[in-house]
Structure 1
Amino acid sequence: MLFTVSRIARPSAAPVSKAIQARNMATLKEIQQRLKSVQNIEKITKSMKMIASTKVAKAQRGMEAARVFGTASSTLFTSAETKAKDDDKILFVASSSDRGLCGGIHSSVSKATRRAVAEKPTAEVVILGDKPKAQLGRVIRNQIALTFNQIGKDMPSFEEASSVVDVIKGQGIEFDTANIIYNKFISVVSYEASIIPAFSEATFKASPNFAVYEIEDDVLANLQEFTFANGLYWAMVEGHASEMCAKRAAMENATQNAGEMISKLTMTYNRGRQAVITNELIDIITGASAL
Protein backbone atom coordinates (compact mmCIF):
# COMPACT_ATOMS: atom_id res chain seq x y z
CA MET A 1 0.00 0.00 0.00
CA LEU A 2 2.83 2.40 0.86
CA PHE A 3 4.57 1.49 -2.39
CA THR A 4 1.52 2.47 -4.39
CA VAL A 5 1.20 5.86 -2.67
CA SER A 6 4.87 6.67 -3.28
CA ARG A 7 4.56 5.89 -6.99
CA ILE A 8 1.55 8.19 -7.28
CA ALA A 9 3.20 11.02 -5.35
CA ARG A 10 6.45 11.16 -7.36
CA PRO A 11 5.11 11.82 -10.84
CA SER A 12 2.82 14.60 -9.55
CA ALA A 13 5.79 16.93 -8.84
CA ALA A 14 7.37 16.57 -12.29
CA PRO A 15 4.51 17.98 -14.39
CA VAL A 16 4.36 21.09 -12.15
CA SER A 17 8.02 21.87 -12.84
CA LYS A 18 7.59 21.24 -16.57
CA ALA A 19 4.48 23.40 -16.62
CA ILE A 20 6.36 26.29 -14.99
CA GLN A 21 9.22 25.91 -17.48
CA ALA A 22 6.79 25.71 -20.39
CA ARG A 23 5.01 28.82 -19.13
CA ASN A 24 8.31 30.69 -18.80
CA MET A 25 9.41 29.62 -22.28
CA ALA A 26 6.07 30.73 -23.75
CA THR A 27 6.39 34.10 -22.02
CA LEU A 28 9.90 34.57 -23.35
CA LYS A 29 8.74 33.68 -26.84
CA GLU A 30 5.89 36.17 -26.65
CA ILE A 31 8.25 38.88 -25.43
CA GLN A 32 10.65 38.09 -28.25
CA GLN A 33 7.88 38.31 -30.85
CA ARG A 34 6.64 41.58 -29.44
CA LEU A 35 10.19 42.91 -29.41
CA LYS A 36 10.59 42.12 -33.10
CA SER A 37 7.26 43.77 -33.95
CA VAL A 38 8.20 46.95 -32.07
CA GLN A 39 11.57 47.00 -33.82
CA ASN A 40 9.79 46.80 -37.17
CA ILE A 41 7.48 49.63 -36.14
CA GLU A 42 10.51 51.72 -35.18
CA LYS A 43 11.99 51.20 -38.64
CA ILE A 44 8.74 52.27 -40.29
CA THR A 45 8.29 55.39 -38.17
CA LYS A 46 11.93 56.35 -38.69
CA SER A 47 11.51 56.03 -42.46
CA MET A 48 8.28 58.06 -42.38
CA LYS A 49 10.05 60.74 -40.35
CA MET A 50 12.82 60.97 -42.95
CA ILE A 51 10.28 61.23 -45.78
CA ALA A 52 8.34 63.96 -43.96
CA SER A 53 11.59 65.83 -43.27
CA THR A 54 12.42 65.93 -46.97
CA LYS A 55 8.92 67.27 -47.76
CA VAL A 56 8.98 70.00 -45.11
CA ALA A 57 11.47 72.20 -46.98
CA LYS A 58 9.51 71.91 -50.23
CA ALA A 59 6.24 72.64 -48.46
CA GLN A 60 7.67 75.74 -46.80
CA ARG A 61 8.97 77.10 -50.11
CA GLY A 62 5.55 76.61 -51.69
CA MET A 63 3.91 78.25 -48.69
CA GLU A 64 6.09 81.35 -48.94
CA ALA A 65 5.19 81.73 -52.61
CA ALA A 66 1.47 81.25 -51.94
CA ARG A 67 1.51 83.78 -49.11
CA VAL A 68 2.55 86.54 -51.51
CA PHE A 69 -0.52 86.05 -53.71
CA GLY A 70 -2.83 85.38 -50.76
CA THR A 71 -1.72 88.56 -49.00
CA ALA A 72 -2.37 90.52 -52.19
CA SER A 73 -5.98 89.31 -52.28
CA SER A 74 -6.46 90.10 -48.60
CA THR A 75 -5.02 93.59 -49.14
CA LEU A 76 -7.55 94.19 -51.91
CA PHE A 77 -10.46 93.51 -49.57
CA THR A 78 -8.83 95.46 -46.75
CA SER A 79 -8.28 98.52 -48.95
CA ALA A 80 -11.87 98.36 -50.24
CA GLU A 81 -13.08 97.95 -46.62
CA THR A 82 -15.10 94.89 -47.60
CA LYS A 83 -16.88 93.43 -44.59
CA ALA A 84 -19.51 90.77 -44.04
CA LYS A 85 -22.92 91.88 -42.81
CA ASP A 86 -24.86 90.20 -40.04
CA ASP A 87 -27.52 88.91 -42.43
CA ASP A 88 -25.07 87.67 -45.08
CA LYS A 89 -25.28 84.12 -46.34
CA ILE A 90 -22.15 82.40 -45.05
CA LEU A 91 -20.28 79.47 -46.55
CA PHE A 92 -17.59 77.67 -44.54
CA VAL A 93 -14.83 75.80 -46.36
CA ALA A 94 -12.92 73.40 -44.08
CA SER A 95 -9.55 72.77 -45.71
CA SER A 96 -7.59 69.70 -44.60
CA SER A 97 -6.52 66.39 -46.19
CA ASP A 98 -7.08 62.62 -46.37
CA ARG A 99 -3.93 61.49 -44.56
CA GLY A 100 -3.49 60.51 -40.94
CA LEU A 101 -0.54 60.04 -38.57
CA CYS A 102 -0.05 63.80 -38.30
CA GLY A 103 -1.16 64.73 -34.80
CA GLY A 104 -4.13 67.02 -34.29
CA ILE A 105 -4.07 68.68 -37.71
CA HIS A 106 -7.53 67.53 -38.73
CA SER A 107 -9.05 67.97 -35.26
CA SER A 108 -7.90 71.60 -35.23
CA VAL A 109 -9.84 72.40 -38.42
CA SER A 110 -12.86 70.35 -37.33
CA LYS A 111 -13.14 72.06 -33.94
CA ALA A 112 -12.82 75.52 -35.50
CA THR A 113 -15.50 74.62 -38.06
CA ARG A 114 -17.87 73.36 -35.37
CA ARG A 115 -17.44 76.59 -33.40
CA ALA A 116 -18.07 78.68 -36.52
CA VAL A 117 -21.18 76.69 -37.50
CA ALA A 118 -22.52 77.00 -33.95
CA GLU A 119 -22.56 80.78 -34.43
CA LYS A 120 -24.14 80.50 -37.90
CA PRO A 121 -26.45 77.44 -37.78
CA THR A 122 -27.91 78.15 -41.24
CA ALA A 123 -24.52 78.23 -42.97
CA GLU A 124 -23.45 75.54 -45.44
CA VAL A 125 -20.14 73.72 -45.20
CA VAL A 126 -17.77 72.48 -47.89
CA ILE A 127 -15.12 70.00 -46.69
CA LEU A 128 -11.76 69.24 -48.27
CA GLY A 129 -10.37 65.90 -47.05
CA ASP A 130 -11.74 62.60 -45.78
CA LYS A 131 -10.45 63.07 -42.22
CA PRO A 132 -12.42 66.23 -41.38
CA LYS A 133 -15.39 64.79 -43.28
CA ALA A 134 -15.52 61.82 -40.88
CA GLN A 135 -15.17 64.10 -37.84
CA LEU A 136 -17.69 66.73 -38.93
CA GLY A 137 -20.16 64.26 -40.42
CA ARG A 138 -21.11 63.07 -36.94
CA VAL A 139 -21.98 66.59 -35.74
CA ILE A 140 -23.08 68.85 -38.63
CA ARG A 141 -24.17 66.32 -41.23
CA ASN A 142 -27.16 68.44 -42.32
CA GLN A 143 -24.98 71.50 -43.02
CA ILE A 144 -22.52 69.67 -45.31
CA ALA A 145 -23.19 70.74 -48.90
CA LEU A 146 -20.16 69.30 -50.69
CA THR A 147 -17.07 67.22 -49.92
CA PHE A 148 -13.80 66.63 -51.75
CA ASN A 149 -11.04 64.05 -51.39
CA GLN A 150 -7.75 63.25 -53.10
CA ILE A 151 -6.94 66.97 -53.02
CA GLY A 152 -3.31 67.99 -52.52
CA LYS A 153 -1.93 64.46 -52.27
CA ASP A 154 1.59 65.81 -52.82
CA MET A 155 1.88 69.60 -53.04
CA PRO A 156 -1.37 71.56 -53.51
CA SER A 157 -1.54 73.51 -56.77
CA PHE A 158 -3.53 76.50 -57.93
CA GLU A 159 -5.20 74.29 -60.55
CA GLU A 160 -6.67 72.11 -57.79
CA ALA A 161 -7.95 75.14 -55.92
CA SER A 162 -9.50 76.49 -59.13
CA SER A 163 -11.18 73.13 -59.78
CA VAL A 164 -12.72 73.16 -56.30
CA VAL A 165 -14.07 76.68 -56.87
CA ASP A 166 -15.50 75.63 -60.26
CA VAL A 167 -17.30 72.66 -58.68
CA ILE A 168 -18.72 74.86 -55.90
CA LYS A 169 -20.06 77.34 -58.45
CA GLY A 170 -21.27 74.54 -60.70
CA GLN A 171 -23.29 73.03 -57.85
CA GLY A 172 -25.11 76.33 -57.43
CA ILE A 173 -23.89 76.97 -53.88
CA GLU A 174 -24.54 80.65 -53.24
CA PHE A 175 -22.91 82.80 -50.58
CA ASP A 176 -22.17 86.38 -49.67
CA THR A 177 -19.08 85.53 -47.64
CA ALA A 178 -16.96 82.37 -47.79
CA ASN A 179 -14.79 81.73 -44.75
CA ILE A 180 -11.96 79.31 -45.51
CA ILE A 181 -10.91 77.54 -42.30
CA TYR A 182 -7.38 76.14 -42.38
CA ASN A 183 -4.29 75.50 -40.24
CA LYS A 184 -2.10 78.59 -40.27
CA PHE A 185 1.61 77.74 -40.19
CA ILE A 186 3.35 79.50 -37.29
CA SER A 187 6.54 77.47 -36.87
CA VAL A 188 7.77 73.93 -37.40
CA VAL A 189 6.26 72.93 -34.05
CA SER A 190 3.09 75.02 -33.90
CA TYR A 191 0.04 75.93 -35.94
CA GLU A 192 -3.42 77.32 -35.29
CA ALA A 193 -6.80 77.29 -36.99
CA SER A 194 -7.42 80.52 -38.87
CA ILE A 195 -9.86 81.97 -41.42
CA ILE A 196 -9.31 83.50 -44.85
CA PRO A 197 -12.37 85.43 -46.08
CA ALA A 198 -13.59 85.51 -49.67
CA PHE A 199 -16.52 87.59 -50.83
CA SER A 200 -19.12 87.41 -53.57
CA GLU A 201 -19.44 89.96 -56.36
CA ALA A 202 -22.33 91.76 -54.68
CA THR A 203 -20.56 91.98 -51.32
CA PHE A 204 -17.36 93.28 -52.87
CA LYS A 205 -19.28 95.73 -55.05
CA ALA A 206 -21.02 97.11 -51.95
CA SER A 207 -17.69 97.96 -50.32
CA PRO A 208 -17.25 101.61 -49.31
CA ASN A 209 -14.07 102.07 -51.38
CA PHE A 210 -15.06 99.90 -54.34
CA ALA A 211 -15.38 102.89 -56.68
CA VAL A 212 -11.65 103.60 -56.33
CA TYR A 213 -10.76 100.51 -58.40
CA GLU A 214 -13.11 101.27 -61.35
CA ILE A 215 -13.65 97.58 -62.10
CA GLU A 216 -16.06 96.64 -64.89
CA ASP A 217 -18.76 94.02 -64.30
CA ASP A 218 -17.27 91.35 -66.57
CA VAL A 219 -13.87 91.78 -64.93
CA LEU A 220 -15.45 91.71 -61.48
CA ALA A 221 -16.78 88.17 -62.02
CA ASN A 222 -13.34 86.92 -62.99
CA LEU A 223 -11.76 88.78 -60.09
CA GLN A 224 -14.19 87.21 -57.63
CA GLU A 225 -13.40 83.68 -58.84
CA PHE A 226 -9.67 84.41 -58.78
CA THR A 227 -9.66 85.80 -55.24
CA PHE A 228 -11.72 82.83 -54.01
CA ALA A 229 -9.38 80.32 -55.68
CA ASN A 230 -6.34 82.29 -54.53
CA GLY A 231 -7.46 82.29 -50.92
CA LEU A 232 -8.28 78.58 -51.08
CA TYR A 233 -4.86 77.81 -52.60
CA TRP A 234 -3.18 79.81 -49.84
CA ALA A 235 -5.11 77.87 -47.20
CA MET A 236 -4.32 74.49 -48.79
CA VAL A 237 -0.58 75.21 -49.04
CA GLU A 238 -0.33 76.52 -45.47
CA GLY A 239 -2.25 73.50 -44.23
CA HIS A 240 0.06 71.19 -46.19
CA ALA A 241 3.16 72.76 -44.62
CA SER A 242 1.64 72.48 -41.15
CA GLU A 243 0.72 68.85 -41.84
CA MET A 244 4.23 67.88 -42.94
CA CYS A 245 5.78 69.46 -39.84
CA ALA A 246 3.20 67.80 -37.60
CA LYS A 247 3.79 64.46 -39.28
CA ARG A 248 7.54 64.74 -38.79
CA ALA A 249 7.04 65.56 -35.11
CA ALA A 250 4.55 62.71 -34.68
CA MET A 251 6.87 60.18 -36.31
CA GLU A 252 9.79 61.43 -34.22
CA ASN A 253 7.77 60.95 -31.03
CA ALA A 254 6.62 57.52 -32.22
CA THR A 255 10.23 56.51 -32.93
CA GLN A 256 11.31 57.63 -29.46
CA ASN A 257 8.45 55.76 -27.82
CA ALA A 258 9.32 52.63 -29.80
CA GLY A 259 12.95 52.94 -28.72
CA GLU A 260 11.93 53.18 -25.06
CA MET A 261 9.64 50.17 -25.43
CA ILE A 262 12.43 48.19 -27.09
CA SER A 263 14.73 48.94 -24.13
CA LYS A 264 12.10 47.81 -21.62
CA LEU A 265 11.24 44.65 -23.55
CA THR A 266 14.91 43.80 -24.00
CA MET A 267 15.51 44.15 -20.27
CA THR A 268 12.43 42.05 -19.48
CA TYR A 269 13.49 39.38 -21.96
CA ASN A 270 17.04 39.23 -20.59
CA ARG A 271 15.77 38.94 -17.02
CA GLY A 272 13.36 36.16 -17.96
CA ARG A 273 16.03 34.32 -19.92
CA GLN A 274 18.47 34.65 -17.01
CA ALA A 275 15.82 33.31 -14.63
CA VAL A 276 15.24 30.26 -16.82
CA ILE A 277 18.98 29.60 -17.05
CA THR A 278 19.32 29.96 -13.26
CA ASN A 279 16.47 27.52 -12.64
CA GLU A 280 18.02 24.98 -15.00
CA LEU A 281 21.40 25.30 -13.27
CA ILE A 282 19.72 24.80 -9.90
CA ASP A 283 18.06 21.63 -11.20
CA ILE A 284 21.38 20.34 -12.53
CA ILE A 285 23.25 21.11 -9.31
CA THR A 286 20.46 19.63 -7.18
CA GLY A 287 20.46 16.47 -9.29
CA ALA A 288 24.24 16.18 -9.11
CA SER A 289 24.17 16.64 -5.32
CA ALA A 290 21.49 13.97 -5.00
CA LEU A 291 23.66 11.49 -6.89
Structure 2
Amino acid sequence: MIRTAATRPAVAALRAMTQAAEQQRGMATLREIEQRLKSVKNIEKITKSMKVVASTKLTRAERAMREAKKYGAANKELFEHAKLEDVSNPKVVYLAMSSDGGLCGGIHSSISRYIKRELGGNPQDLIILGDKPKAQLARVMGQNIKVTFNGVGKDVPTFAEACAIADEIGKIEGGWDEIRIISNHYLSALSYEARPTSIISSKAMTQSAGFQAYEVEDDTAKDLADFALANAIYTALVEGHAAEISARRTAMENASNNANDMISSLQLQYNRGRQAVITNELIDIITGASAL
Protein backbone atom coordinates (compact mmCIF):
# COMPACT_ATOMS: atom_id res chain seq x y z
CA MET A 1 0.00 0.00 0.00
CA ILE A 2 1.30 3.45 -0.94
CA ARG A 3 1.18 5.92 1.96
CA THR A 4 0.64 9.54 1.07
CA ALA A 5 1.52 12.50 3.19
CA ALA A 6 -2.10 12.73 4.32
CA THR A 7 -2.22 9.17 5.65
CA ARG A 8 1.04 9.28 7.62
CA PRO A 9 -0.39 11.22 10.61
CA ALA A 10 -3.30 8.77 10.83
CA VAL A 11 -0.95 5.76 10.81
CA ALA A 12 1.24 7.39 13.46
CA ALA A 13 -1.82 8.12 15.61
CA LEU A 14 -3.03 4.51 15.26
CA ARG A 15 0.38 3.20 16.25
CA ALA A 16 0.46 5.49 19.25
CA MET A 17 -3.01 4.31 20.33
CA THR A 18 -1.93 0.67 19.96
CA GLN A 19 1.16 1.22 22.10
CA ALA A 20 -0.88 3.07 24.71
CA ALA A 21 -3.40 0.20 24.86
CA GLU A 22 -0.58 -2.33 25.30
CA GLN A 23 0.90 -0.26 28.11
CA GLN A 24 -2.53 -0.02 29.81
CA ARG A 25 -2.96 -3.81 29.57
CA GLY A 26 0.48 -4.25 31.11
CA MET A 27 -0.31 -1.85 33.96
CA ALA A 28 -3.68 -3.56 34.54
CA THR A 29 -1.92 -6.92 34.83
CA LEU A 30 0.57 -5.44 37.27
CA ARG A 31 -2.26 -4.03 39.37
CA GLU A 32 -3.95 -7.44 39.46
CA ILE A 33 -0.73 -9.13 40.51
CA GLU A 34 -0.15 -6.48 43.15
CA GLN A 35 -3.65 -6.96 44.59
CA ARG A 36 -3.25 -10.72 44.64
CA LEU A 37 0.16 -10.39 46.28
CA LYS A 38 -1.37 -8.21 48.98
CA SER A 39 -4.17 -10.73 49.56
CA VAL A 40 -1.74 -13.66 49.87
CA LYS A 41 0.38 -11.68 52.34
CA ASN A 42 -2.70 -11.05 54.49
CA ILE A 43 -3.60 -14.76 54.37
CA GLU A 44 -0.05 -15.65 55.38
CA LYS A 45 -0.31 -13.36 58.42
CA ILE A 46 -3.59 -14.99 59.46
CA THR A 47 -2.32 -18.58 59.09
CA LYS A 48 0.86 -17.69 60.96
CA SER A 49 -1.17 -16.23 63.83
CA MET A 50 -3.43 -19.30 63.92
CA LYS A 51 -0.36 -21.52 64.07
CA VAL A 52 0.92 -19.60 67.11
CA VAL A 53 -2.48 -19.87 68.81
CA ALA A 54 -2.65 -23.62 68.09
CA SER A 55 0.87 -24.12 69.46
CA THR A 56 -0.17 -22.40 72.70
CA LYS A 57 -3.35 -24.47 73.00
CA LEU A 58 -1.49 -27.68 72.25
CA THR A 59 0.52 -27.40 75.47
CA ARG A 60 -2.68 -27.27 77.55
CA ALA A 61 -4.31 -30.03 75.53
CA GLU A 62 -1.34 -32.37 75.97
CA ARG A 63 -1.28 -31.74 79.72
CA ALA A 64 -5.01 -32.49 80.02
CA MET A 65 -4.58 -35.60 77.85
CA ARG A 66 -1.86 -37.01 80.10
CA GLU A 67 -4.11 -36.62 83.13
CA ALA A 68 -7.14 -38.14 81.37
CA LYS A 69 -5.19 -41.17 80.18
CA LYS A 70 -4.76 -42.27 83.79
CA TYR A 71 -8.53 -42.76 84.05
CA GLY A 72 -8.57 -44.43 80.64
CA ALA A 73 -6.04 -46.98 81.90
CA ALA A 74 -8.38 -47.83 84.80
CA ASN A 75 -11.23 -48.38 82.32
CA LYS A 76 -9.05 -50.68 80.24
CA GLU A 77 -8.22 -52.76 83.30
CA LEU A 78 -11.92 -53.03 84.14
CA PHE A 79 -13.11 -54.26 80.75
CA GLU A 80 -10.29 -56.77 80.39
CA HIS A 81 -12.26 -58.88 82.86
CA ALA A 82 -15.65 -58.34 81.15
CA LYS A 83 -16.13 -59.87 77.70
CA LEU A 84 -19.16 -59.36 75.46
CA GLU A 85 -18.82 -62.88 74.05
CA ASP A 86 -21.00 -64.18 76.87
CA VAL A 87 -24.02 -62.24 75.50
CA SER A 88 -25.98 -63.74 72.60
CA ASN A 89 -26.83 -61.38 69.67
CA PRO A 90 -25.40 -58.25 71.28
CA LYS A 91 -26.66 -54.85 70.13
CA VAL A 92 -23.69 -52.67 69.19
CA VAL A 93 -23.91 -48.86 68.89
CA TYR A 94 -21.15 -46.81 67.29
CA LEU A 95 -20.15 -43.40 68.66
CA ALA A 96 -18.26 -41.28 66.10
CA MET A 97 -16.44 -38.65 68.14
CA SER A 98 -14.91 -35.52 66.64
CA SER A 99 -15.79 -31.80 66.81
CA ASP A 100 -17.32 -28.80 65.02
CA GLY A 101 -14.05 -27.02 64.16
CA GLY A 102 -12.45 -26.82 60.74
CA LEU A 103 -9.04 -25.93 59.30
CA CYS A 104 -7.47 -29.01 60.87
CA GLY A 105 -6.60 -31.28 57.97
CA GLY A 106 -8.21 -34.72 57.78
CA ILE A 107 -9.01 -35.04 61.48
CA HIS A 108 -12.75 -35.49 60.79
CA SER A 109 -12.35 -37.53 57.61
CA SER A 110 -10.34 -40.18 59.48
CA ILE A 111 -13.34 -40.82 61.75
CA SER A 112 -15.81 -40.92 58.83
CA ARG A 113 -13.62 -43.30 56.83
CA TYR A 114 -13.24 -45.65 59.79
CA ILE A 115 -17.02 -45.71 60.40
CA LYS A 116 -17.78 -46.39 56.70
CA ARG A 117 -15.17 -49.15 56.58
CA GLU A 118 -16.34 -50.70 59.86
CA LEU A 119 -20.06 -50.70 59.11
CA GLY A 120 -19.91 -51.33 55.39
CA GLY A 121 -23.36 -52.52 54.35
CA ASN A 122 -24.41 -53.54 57.88
CA PRO A 123 -26.94 -51.10 59.36
CA GLN A 124 -26.01 -50.17 62.94
CA ASP A 125 -27.19 -47.43 65.27
CA LEU A 126 -24.89 -44.44 65.06
CA ILE A 127 -24.23 -41.58 67.48
CA ILE A 128 -22.26 -38.62 66.19
CA LEU A 129 -20.45 -35.95 68.17
CA GLY A 130 -19.51 -32.93 66.04
CA ASP A 131 -21.03 -31.13 63.06
CA LYS A 132 -18.17 -32.02 60.70
CA PRO A 133 -18.46 -35.83 60.89
CA LYS A 134 -22.25 -35.47 60.94
CA ALA A 135 -22.18 -33.67 57.57
CA GLN A 136 -19.90 -36.36 56.12
CA LEU A 137 -21.81 -39.38 57.41
CA ALA A 138 -25.37 -38.07 56.99
CA ARG A 139 -25.08 -38.36 53.20
CA VAL A 140 -24.61 -42.14 53.27
CA MET A 141 -25.83 -43.21 56.74
CA GLY A 142 -28.49 -40.68 57.60
CA GLN A 143 -31.04 -43.38 58.45
CA ASN A 144 -28.69 -44.92 61.04
CA ILE A 145 -28.09 -41.73 63.05
CA LYS A 146 -29.93 -41.82 66.37
CA VAL A 147 -28.40 -38.96 68.39
CA THR A 148 -26.09 -36.07 67.51
CA PHE A 149 -24.15 -33.62 69.67
CA ASN A 150 -22.45 -30.32 68.86
CA GLY A 151 -20.77 -27.46 70.65
CA VAL A 152 -18.41 -29.82 72.50
CA GLY A 153 -14.62 -29.51 72.38
CA LYS A 154 -14.29 -25.78 71.70
CA ASP A 155 -11.90 -25.73 74.65
CA VAL A 156 -10.32 -28.51 76.71
CA PRO A 157 -13.25 -30.91 77.38
CA THR A 158 -14.47 -31.42 80.94
CA PHE A 159 -15.81 -34.46 82.75
CA ALA A 160 -19.18 -32.69 83.14
CA GLU A 161 -19.54 -32.61 79.34
CA ALA A 162 -18.71 -36.31 79.16
CA CYS A 163 -21.33 -37.09 81.83
CA ALA A 164 -24.00 -35.12 79.92
CA ILE A 165 -23.23 -37.07 76.75
CA ALA A 166 -23.30 -40.38 78.65
CA ASP A 167 -26.71 -39.51 80.14
CA GLU A 168 -28.17 -38.84 76.67
CA ILE A 169 -26.72 -42.09 75.35
CA GLY A 170 -28.36 -43.96 78.21
CA LYS A 171 -31.77 -42.73 76.98
CA ILE A 172 -31.44 -44.39 73.56
CA GLU A 173 -34.55 -46.37 72.72
CA GLY A 174 -33.98 -50.09 72.80
CA GLY A 175 -30.81 -49.87 74.86
CA TRP A 176 -27.45 -51.33 73.88
CA ASP A 177 -25.00 -54.03 74.90
CA GLU A 178 -21.80 -52.43 73.61
CA ILE A 179 -20.74 -48.96 72.54
CA ARG A 180 -17.73 -48.66 70.29
CA ILE A 181 -16.25 -45.19 70.57
CA ILE A 182 -14.39 -44.23 67.38
CA SER A 183 -12.06 -41.33 68.15
CA ASN A 184 -8.68 -39.96 67.12
CA HIS A 185 -5.80 -41.20 69.26
CA TYR A 186 -2.86 -38.85 69.68
CA LEU A 187 0.35 -40.51 68.53
CA SER A 188 2.70 -37.52 68.31
CA ALA A 189 2.64 -33.82 67.51
CA LEU A 190 2.57 -34.76 63.81
CA SER A 191 0.37 -37.86 63.65
CA TYR A 192 -2.91 -39.30 64.90
CA GLU A 193 -4.98 -42.41 64.22
CA ALA A 194 -8.65 -43.36 64.47
CA ARG A 195 -9.14 -46.26 66.90
CA PRO A 196 -12.09 -47.93 68.64
CA THR A 197 -12.73 -48.18 72.37
CA SER A 198 -15.35 -50.70 73.52
CA ILE A 199 -17.65 -50.13 76.50
CA ILE A 200 -20.25 -52.72 77.54
CA SER A 201 -23.52 -52.15 79.40
CA SER A 202 -24.26 -53.14 82.98
CA LYS A 203 -26.39 -56.08 81.81
CA ALA A 204 -23.59 -57.44 79.62
CA MET A 205 -21.11 -56.78 82.40
CA THR A 206 -23.01 -58.83 85.00
CA GLN A 207 -23.42 -61.71 82.52
CA SER A 208 -19.71 -61.92 81.81
CA ALA A 209 -17.74 -64.74 83.43
CA GLY A 210 -15.27 -62.35 85.02
CA PHE A 211 -17.99 -60.60 87.04
CA GLN A 212 -20.08 -63.63 87.86
CA ALA A 213 -17.23 -64.83 90.05
CA TYR A 214 -18.12 -61.98 92.44
CA GLU A 215 -21.31 -60.93 94.16
CA VAL A 216 -22.14 -57.61 92.49
CA GLU A 217 -25.49 -55.94 93.07
CA ASP A 218 -27.44 -54.64 90.07
CA ASP A 219 -27.32 -51.03 91.24
CA THR A 220 -23.59 -51.24 91.79
CA ALA A 221 -23.04 -52.72 88.34
CA LYS A 222 -25.21 -50.03 86.73
CA ASP A 223 -23.35 -47.23 88.51
CA LEU A 224 -20.03 -48.79 87.53
CA ALA A 225 -21.08 -49.12 83.88
CA ASP A 226 -22.37 -45.52 83.74
CA PHE A 227 -19.17 -44.19 85.27
CA ALA A 228 -17.05 -46.30 82.92
CA LEU A 229 -18.95 -44.92 79.90
CA ALA A 230 -18.54 -41.30 81.04
CA ASN A 231 -14.90 -41.98 81.83
CA ALA A 232 -14.24 -43.46 78.38
CA ILE A 233 -16.02 -40.59 76.65
CA TYR A 234 -13.99 -38.06 78.65
CA THR A 235 -10.71 -39.78 77.77
CA ALA A 236 -11.63 -39.93 74.08
CA LEU A 237 -12.75 -36.28 74.10
CA VAL A 238 -9.53 -35.01 75.63
CA GLU A 239 -7.27 -37.13 73.45
CA GLY A 240 -9.25 -36.23 70.32
CA HIS A 241 -9.02 -32.55 71.25
CA ALA A 242 -5.24 -32.78 71.52
CA ALA A 243 -5.08 -34.55 68.14
CA GLU A 244 -7.27 -31.84 66.58
CA ILE A 245 -5.14 -28.98 67.92
CA SER A 246 -2.01 -30.75 66.70
CA ALA A 247 -3.55 -31.28 63.24
CA ARG A 248 -4.63 -27.63 63.09
CA ARG A 249 -1.13 -26.47 63.97
CA THR A 250 0.34 -28.66 61.22
CA ALA A 251 -2.29 -27.47 58.71
CA MET A 252 -1.61 -23.81 59.49
CA GLU A 253 2.14 -24.38 59.20
CA ASN A 254 1.68 -25.97 55.78
CA ALA A 255 -0.65 -23.15 54.72
CA SER A 256 1.92 -20.55 55.80
CA ASN A 257 4.67 -22.31 53.85
CA ASN A 258 2.47 -22.49 50.75
CA ALA A 259 1.61 -18.81 51.11
CA ASN A 260 5.31 -17.93 51.33
CA ASP A 261 6.00 -19.90 48.14
CA MET A 262 3.13 -18.14 46.39
CA ILE A 263 4.38 -14.74 47.58
CA SER A 264 7.82 -15.46 46.13
CA SER A 265 6.31 -16.53 42.80
CA LEU A 266 3.99 -13.53 42.58
CA GLN A 267 6.77 -11.13 43.58
CA LEU A 268 8.98 -12.50 40.80
CA GLN A 269 6.13 -12.24 38.30
CA TYR A 270 5.39 -8.68 39.40
CA ASN A 271 9.05 -7.62 39.13
CA ARG A 272 9.32 -9.09 35.63
CA GLY A 273 6.14 -7.37 34.49
CA ARG A 274 7.22 -4.06 35.96
CA GLN A 275 10.63 -4.33 34.32
CA ALA A 276 8.96 -5.07 30.95
CA VAL A 277 6.78 -1.97 31.23
CA ILE A 278 9.78 0.20 32.12
CA THR A 279 11.77 -1.25 29.20
CA ASN A 280 8.93 -0.49 26.74
CA GLU A 281 8.69 3.07 28.00
CA LEU A 282 12.46 3.56 27.61
CA ILE A 283 12.29 2.20 24.05
CA ASP A 284 9.53 4.67 23.21
CA ILE A 285 11.53 7.56 24.66
CA ILE A 286 14.73 6.58 22.85
CA THR A 287 12.80 6.04 19.58
CA GLY A 288 11.14 9.43 19.89
CA ALA A 289 14.44 11.14 20.69
CA SER A 290 16.08 9.47 17.67
CA ALA A 291 13.26 10.58 15.39
CA LEU A 292 13.66 14.19 16.53
TM bin, normalised by shorter chain, reads: over 0.9
Deviation of 1:6 (Å): 2.8
The 5-angstrom pairing of residues 1-291 of structure 1 reads 2-83=4-85, 87-118=89-120, 121-172=122-173, 174-291=175-292
The 1:44–1:86 alpha-carbon spacing in structure 2 relative to 1, beyond 3 Å, is farther
For 1:257 and 1:173, the matched residues in 2 are separated by: 51
CA-to-aligned-CA distance 1:184-243 (integer Å, 9 cap, x gap)? 111111111101111111111111110344321111111111111111111111110111
Deviation of 1:34 (Å): 0.4
Mean CA deviation greater in 79-88 or 210-219: 79-88
For 1:8 and 1:85, the matched residues in 2 are separated by: 98
The 1:111–1:46 alpha-carbon spacing in structure 2 relative to 1, beyond 3 Å, is same
CA contact (8 A) 2:84 2:204 kept: yes
Aligned partner of 1:221: which letter?
Answer: K
CA contact (8 A) 1:82 1:208 kept: no
For 2:98 and 2:174, the matched residues in 1 are separated by: 20
Aligned partner of 1:72: which letter?
Answer: A
CA-to-aligned-CA distance 1:49-98 (integer Å, 9 cap, x gap)? 00000011111111111111111111111023454757211100000000
The 1:50–1:94 alpha-carbon spacing in structure 2 relative to 1, beyond 3 Å, is same
For 1:55 and 1:181, the matched residues in 2 are separated by: 23
CA contact (8 A) 1:152 1:160 kept: no
CA contact (8 A) 2:86 2:208 kept: no
Deviation of 1:152 (Å): 1.4
> TM-score if structure 1 supplies the norm length?
0.95
For 2:244 and 2:177, the matched residues in 1 are separated by: 30
The 1:49–1:289 alpha-carbon spacing in structure 2 relative to 1, beyond 3 Å, is same
The 1:74–1:44 alpha-carbon spacing in structure 2 relative to 1, beyond 3 Å, is same
Structure 2 gap segments, 5+ residues each: none
The 1:84–1:271 alpha-carbon spacing in structure 2 relative to 1, beyond 3 Å, is farther
Deviation of 1:8 (Å): 3.0
CA-to-aligned-CA distance 1:18-61 (integer Å, 9 cap, x gap)? 11100000000000000000000000000000000001111111
Mean CA deviation greater in 216-225 or 21-30: 216-225
For 1:82 and 1:71, the matched residues in 2 are separated by: 19
For 2:68 and 2:5, the matched residues in 1 are separated by: 94
Deviation of 1:163 (Å): 0.4
Structure 1 gap segments, 5+ residues each: none
Query: How many residues end up aligned between the 2 structures?
Result: 290
For 1:135 and 1:68, the matched residues in 2 are separated by: 32
CA contact (8 A) 1:96 1:239 kept: yes
Deviation of 1:157 (Å): 0.9
The 1:172–1:81 alpha-carbon spacing in structure 2 relative to 1, beyond 3 Å, is closer
For 2:90 and 2:111, the matched residues in 1 are separated by: 23
Q: CA RMSD in A?
A: 1.6
The 1:216–1:236 alpha-carbon spacing in structure 2 relative to 1, beyond 3 Å, is same
Aligned partner of 2:253: which letter?
Answer: E
The 1:80–1:157 alpha-carbon spacing in structure 2 relative to 1, beyond 3 Å, is same
Aligned partner of 1:158: which letter?
Answer: F
Identity fraction in percent? 50
